[in-house]
């Protein structure tokens, strides 16, 4: 325990300032403050006393009082570089960056050798967005003091803002070696590594930050984001909670906490948190966009909840557009795509109006960022230049269904292809994609960097395989970068964007009057609209006995994710059993356990209401890897489509193995992906046109093994009509020629 120290003030001339400094170094802050006050009162070097006392007050967070002391010192000595430096630091901490910059500039005019003032000057310039001037300030510091860790770390932060992440990592690692305890260097290191996709190293850097500074809110926030990317919502929740506790004003921490609550099934709590955040910060774009999307229930309990959510979504989007038009949501561009209305597509309803309003919001937010889209100049080789923008040039459903086949079958004597790879994640499929490109553009760029790269690529046509699954893709698609822009059906729903001219769908997948569901001009390419390459499936044998309750029970695979199954359809499965089907329906547990649990409880209720044993006829199994999943399909007797939103790649896998798959023909493209496949194969007996037909056909296939066997043979015989369909690609080529006036 520290003993009290009795201080005797001497009155010797200029003795009080050294005494105050000694007390400060000894940790006797209150005594030091009193000693500085005595020096001011006795006019023993009051100019220095005001500065010394002001610095102590600044460290205590008493910024206004500290500022008044520095102002008092400057009244005595207007050219006091130290006072100007300290005044600038205080103004910086108060968020008055321009005034801070002016004060620090004056300090350096009077004393150019004040290294710490130059570091602070660089920081103020940085906050004002004067990047080049800030770089010059830091370079001057590092030239004078090569091992100045704070200047090196701040310089790295500037490089991060310019998306020069590799150079930033080098600087941060250097700063950490020089000053292992410099928290800002470790945080900037984590930020640079995170942007490079080096998640494990980034997490290590952030963990070091919060170990040294447990209330570093931004580090906790970024840790939470990393854990969400790793599908670890429980750990992410803890991180976001820590961030919120550390800094109640860090709005993005609260917004991300609401995001993770929603993903964990706490949808009402998420909406409440969004509302509380908006009450405190009405014009925070991330909170406003998040609240709008959170209105859409992920797994609605009934039709009433679904309709209520849709109405709320519409109202929130309309309010955002009003405030954005009035210039109140200045950061809206950054918020676009942070969360997307993905789950609307599973509602089985026409979403044109809702998504068009969402598109209006996106277009309004990004309009000021878009470079000028100039007409393409003729190429020396005479080819039409196509650009394809995607975050999925890798093993992914969109790559498998759409992009790979297009690249393989496109006539390269007539068309050149530039691929813009928006992600740094790579696999063997990335190398295949790169091999098909005339030009490959990748790396880590800002949104504006990508926009400039695309707009400057001299393209006739810009194509997105999907819009609605990736943030950067949506942001870029919300700009006019090329004179004609089109989207394929990787996310099978209108984008709602005025900047997308054409939606490329397929004749086999669309109903009559399909154009009424799209904001874009609808172009239906031949057949499935894609040139699909069958996958060479590696399979791990699955033991069907673990699913059946007796050897003759029919295994019916229901391969959709839990959120694809709507509550109004729960009765279907119970009715199939009630009418004499001896089957076990196999569903999947998702990583988000609450989703599959909610579906399980709903189905259990439907079976109980009909006096049926749920446990005998429904089985939930854990999510499988691709080889295990292929093995499960192979031993299944029958697969059932998920109504209103089919699974294209799963259907194609079943077809490859000759497993009967009962498709449902929905109202919209997204509900006809499977039915289009079987109609194209000449197998209408595997297509149900309504719920009653679905029940009847499923019952027949379950009870008649011979029919299933005949269908399996037909599937194997007819499946080749689906593979590498050059007609679909030729249809795309014709469309591009017409759209670009290059007949």
Average pLDDT over residues 575-585: 95
Position 6 scores a pLDDT of 31
Backbone angles phi, psi at 399, to 5 degrees: -60, -45
Residue 394 backbone phi and psi in degrees, to 5: -165, 180
pLDDT reading at 439 higher than 80:
yes
388 phi-psi bin (left φ>0, alpha ψ -120 to 50, beta other)? beta
CA distances from 213 to 208, 596, 667 (A): 8, 39, 55
| Beta pairing partners, 532 | 723
Sheet with 415-421, edge to edge strand ranges: 439-441, 415-421, 384-390, 461-464, 485-487, 502-506, 521-525
Mapped onto helix, strand or coil, the DSSP state of residue 319 is helix
Instruction: Write the DSSP symbol of residue 216.
Output: -
Q: Encoding tokens for residue 656? A: 């490859």
For residue 554, the 8-state DSSP code is E
Backbone φ and ψ of 740, nearest 5°: -100, 10
Distance of CA 705 to the CA centre of its chain: 46
What's 399's DSSP letter? I
User: What pLDDT shows up at residue 369?
Assistant: 87
Which of 20-29, 159-168, 237-246, 377-386 tops mean pLDDT?
Answer: 237-246
Q: Do residues 179 and 208 make contact, with C-beta atoms less than 8 angstroms apart?
A: no
At 14, the pLDDT band (50, 70, 90 cuts) reads low
pLDDT band at 498 (very low <50, low <70, confident <90, very high): very high
Residues with Cβ within 8 Å of 4's Cβ and at least 6 positions away in sequence, in order, are none
pLDDT, tens only, 515-529: 999 999 999 999 999
Name the percent of the chain lying above pLDDT 90: 88
Phi, psi of 462 (to 5 degrees): -115, 130
174: Cβ contacts below 8 Å, ≥ 6 apart: 152
Strand partners, 504: 523
pLDDT tens across 184-217, in order?
Answer: 999 999 999 999 989 999 999 999 999 999 999 9
Cα separation of 205 and 187, whole Å?
7
pLDDT bracket for residue 24 (50, 70, 90) = confident
Contact (Cβ atoms closer than 8 angstroms) between residue 348 and residue 643 = yes
| Phi then psi dihedrals of residue 395, to 5 deg | -60, 110
pLDDT, average across residues 384-400:
96
pLDDT of residue 374: 81
Q: Which residues pair with 640 in a beta bridge?
A: 662
Q: For residues 289 and 337, give the distance between their C-alpha atoms in angstroms, rounded to a whole number.
A: 9
Average pLDDT for 588-595: 93
Average pLDDT (560-582) is: 95
Q: How confident is the model at residue 43 (pLDDT cuts 50, 70, 90)?
A: confident
Nearest to 407 by CA among 509, 528, 532, 522: 532
Task: Give the domains, in start order, of the chain with CATH numbers.
Answer: 16-198 (1.25.40.10), 283-369 (no CATH), 384-533+727-737 (3.40.50.11380), 544-722 (3.40.50.2000)
* CA 237/CA 265 separation, integer angstroms: 13
Of residues 358, 421, 359, 368, the one with CA closest to residue 394 = 421
Model pTM score: 0.89
Mean pLDDT value across the chain = 93
In tens, the pLDDT along 292-334 reads 999 999 999 888 999 999 999 999 999 999 999 999 998 999 9
- Cα separation, 265 vs 274, in Å, equals 15
Distance CA 174, CA 168 (A): 10
Mean pLDDT of 601-622: 96
- Residue indicated by tokens 């020089």: 178
Chain centroid, CA 398 distance in Å:
17
For residues 560 and 570, what is the distance between their CA atoms, to the nearest angstrom? 14
DSSP string, 390-447: ES-SSSSHHIIIIIHHHHHHS-TTTEEEEEEE------HHHHHHHHT-SEEE-S---H
Contact between 57 and 72 under an 8 Å Cβ cutoff? The reply is: no
Specify the higher pLDDT residue, 653 or 378: 653
Give residue-wise pLDDT tens across range 697-726.
999 999 999 999 999 999 999 999 999 999
The structure tokens listed for 715 are: 């599937």
* Closest to 600 measured CA to CA, from 299, 266, 272, 227: 299
User: What's the whole-number mean pLDDT along residues 653-664?
Assistant: 96
Q: In which residue are the tokens 């499935």 written?
A: 528
- The H or E element containing residue 236 is helix 233-246
Q: Rounded distance, CA 495 to CA 292, Å?
A: 17
* pLDDT score for 245: 97
Q: Which two tokens stand for residue 480?
A: 């006019």
* Separation CA 62–CA 107 (nearest Å): 22
- Work out the angle at residue 74's Cα, subtended by the Cα atoms of residues 69 and 77, and round it to the nearest 5 degrees: 130
Please say whether the beta carbons of 506 and 489 come within 8 A.
Answer: yes
Closest CA to 655 of 586, 723, 719: 719
Task: Give CA angle at 690 (673, 708), nearest 5°.
Answer: 70
pLDDT at 742: 63
Residue 5 pLDDT: 34
**pLDDT value at position 28?**
92
- Pairing state of beta strands 554-557 and 461-464? unpaired
């Amino acid at each position: 325990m520290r003993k009290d120290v009795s201080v005797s003030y001497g009155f010797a001339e200029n003795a009080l300032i050294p005494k105050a400094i000694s007390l400060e170094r000894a940790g006797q802050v209150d005594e030091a403050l009193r000693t500085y006050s005595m020096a001011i009162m006795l006019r023993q070097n009051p100019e220095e006393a005001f500065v010394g006392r002001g610095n102590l007050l600044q460290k205590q967070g008493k910024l206004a009082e500290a500022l008044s002391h520095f102002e008092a010192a400057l009244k005595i000595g207007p050219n006091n570089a130290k006072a100007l430096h300290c005044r600038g630091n205080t103004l910086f901490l108060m968020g008055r960056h321009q005034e801070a910059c002016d004060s620090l500039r004056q300090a350096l005019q009077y004393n150019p050798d004040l290294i710490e003032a130059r570091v602070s000057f660089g920081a103020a310039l940085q906050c004002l967005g004067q990047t080049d001037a800030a770089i010059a300030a830091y370079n001057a510091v590092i030239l004078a003091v090569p091992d100045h860790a704070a200047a090196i770390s701040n310089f790295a932060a500037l490089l991060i803002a310019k998306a020069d992440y590799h150079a930033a990592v080098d600087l941060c690692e250097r700063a950490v070696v020089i000053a292992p305890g410099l928290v800002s260097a470790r945080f900037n290191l984590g930020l640079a590594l995170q942007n490079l996709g080096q998640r494990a190293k980034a997490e290590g850097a952030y963990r070091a930050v919060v170990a040294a500074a447990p209330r570093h809110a931004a580090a906790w926030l970024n840790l939470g984001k990393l854990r969400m990317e790793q599908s670890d919502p429980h750990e992410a929740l803890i991180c976001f909670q820590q961030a919120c506790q550390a800094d109640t004003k860090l709005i993005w921490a609260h917004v991300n906490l609401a995001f993770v609550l929603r993903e964990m099934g706490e949808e009402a709590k998420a909406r409440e948190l969004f509302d509380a955040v908006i009450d405190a910060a009405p014009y925070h774009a991330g909170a406003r966009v998040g609240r709008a999307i959170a209105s859409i229930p992920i797994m609605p309990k009934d039709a009433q909840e679904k309709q209520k959510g849709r109405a709320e979504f519409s109202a929130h989007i309309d309010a955002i557009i009003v405030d954005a038009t009035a210039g109140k949501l200045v950061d809206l561009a950054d918020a676009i795509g942070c969360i997307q209305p993905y789950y609307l597509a599973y509602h089985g309803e026409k979403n044109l109006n809702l998504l068009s309003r969402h598109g209006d919001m996106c277009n309004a937010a990004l309009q000021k960022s878009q470079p000028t889209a100039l007409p393409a100049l003729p190429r020396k080789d005479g080819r039409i230049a196509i650009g394809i923008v995607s975050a999925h040039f890798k093993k992914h459903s969109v790559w498998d269904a759409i992009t790979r086949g297009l690249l393989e079958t496109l006539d390269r004597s007539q068309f050149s292809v530039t691929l813009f790879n928006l992600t740094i994640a790579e696999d063997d499929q990335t190398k295949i994609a790169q091999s098909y490109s005339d030009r490959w553009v990748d790396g880590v760029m800002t949104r504006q960097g990508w926009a400039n790269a695309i707009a400057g690529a001299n393209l006739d046509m810009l194509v997105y395989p999907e819009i609605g699954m990736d943030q950067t893709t949506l942001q870029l698609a919300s700009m006019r970068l090329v004179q004609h822009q089109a989207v394929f059906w990787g996310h099978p729903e209108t984008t709602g964007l005025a900047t997308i001219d054409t939606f490329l769908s397929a004749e086999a997948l669309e109903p009559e009057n399909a154009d009424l569901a799209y904001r874009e001009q609808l172009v239906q390419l031949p057949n499935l609209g894609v040139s699909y390459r069958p996958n060479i499936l590696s399979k791990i044998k699955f033991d069907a006995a673990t699913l059946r309750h007796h050897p003759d029970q029919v295994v019916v695979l229901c391969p959709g994710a839990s959120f694809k199954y709507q509550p109004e359809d729960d009765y279907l499965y119970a009715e199939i059993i009630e009418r004499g089907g001896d089957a076990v329906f196999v569903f999947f547990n998702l990583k988000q356990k609450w989703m599959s649990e909610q579906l399980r409880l709903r189905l259990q209720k439907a079976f109980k209401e009909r006096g049926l044993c749920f446990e005998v006829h429904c089985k939930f199994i854990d999510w499988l890897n691709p080889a295990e999943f292929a093995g499960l399909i192979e031993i299944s007797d029958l697969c059932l489509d998920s109504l209103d939103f089919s699974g294209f790649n799963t259907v194609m896998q079943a077809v490859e193995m000759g497993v009967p798959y009962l498709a449902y023909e929905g109202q919209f493209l997204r509900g006809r992906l499977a039915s289009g496949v079987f109609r194209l194969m000449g197998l209408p007996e595997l297509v149900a046109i309504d719920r009653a037909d679905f029940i009847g056909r499923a019952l027949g296939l379950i009870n008649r093994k011979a029919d299933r066997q005949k269908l399996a043979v037909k599937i194997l015989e007819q499946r080749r009509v689906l593979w590498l369909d050059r007609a679909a690609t030729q249809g795309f080529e014709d469309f591009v020629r017409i759209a670009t006036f290059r007949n």
